[in-house]
Amino acid sequence: MAPAGRELAQALADAAAGITGRDASAPPAERTVPILGVFAVADQVAVTAHDLSAAGAGLDPATQIWWEAARQPLAAVLEALTGQAERVRAEA
C-alpha cells in the first residue's frame, strides 16, 4: 500500500505543478515528493490532493495542463487520478 500511496502523492503533485505551469512552453521541472515513513503516506496524499484542488479551483475542465510531458485537458488528468486513487483504495 505504501508504494502505491507514494505514487499517488507524486501524481497529485505532478498534476498540481502542471496546472500552475500550464502557460509555460515546456513542462514544469520534476519535483519529487520525499520518501518518508509509511505512516506519513496518507498525509502526503492529503497535502498533495489539497495542493491540486487549490491549483485547479475555478478552472474549466477543458483547460490544457502539463501532464506526463504533454498538454492534456484537466478533466482527463482528473479522471486518471481518480482511477489511480480508486486502485490505491482497493489495495488497502
* DSSP single-letter state for residue 56: H
CB neighbours of residue 15 within 10 Å = 26
Residue pLDDT, tens place only, 28-40: 999 999 999 889 9
The pTM for the full model equals 0.95
- Model pLDDT, residue 37: 87
pLDDT at 1 over 80: no
Per-residue pLDDT of 3-31, as tens digits, reads: 999 999 999 999 999 999 999 999 999 99
Quote the percentage of the chain above a pLDDT of 90: 90
Domain edges within the chain: 2-91
What pLDDT was estimated at residue 38? 87
